[in-house]
Amino acid sequence: LHAQEAGSTAAAESADGRRVTYVVRRGDTLSDIARTLRVTVASLREWNNISGSSIRAGQKLVAYVRRRS
């Protein structure tokens, strides 16, 4: 993972899990990121107001990931 926590809001709890900020790298796709973070592409789109599949390197995406037990 190359998700990073950015400030206190990044660690905030949500009904969906722990909030993390993911910085998009060159060559990343929404599918790749979703697989890495163990979330759905639909969730990534919803959390980040993305209607298509267009993302760019350096863009920050928010995701809510489940705690691993």
Report pLDDT digits (tens) over 1-49: 555 443 333 334 455 589 999 999 999 999 999 999 999 999 999 999 9
Residue 45's nearest CA partner among 58, 30, 59 is: 30
- What is the bridge-based pairing of β-strands 3-4 and 13-14? unpaired
User: Which SS3 state, helix, strand or coil, does residue 61 take?
Assistant: strand
Question: Residues near 8 by Cβ (< 8 Å), separated by ≥ 6?
Answer: none
pLDDT value of position 5: 40
Largest CA distance in the chain: 33
pLDDT one-digit tens code per residue, 48-60: 999 988 999 999 9
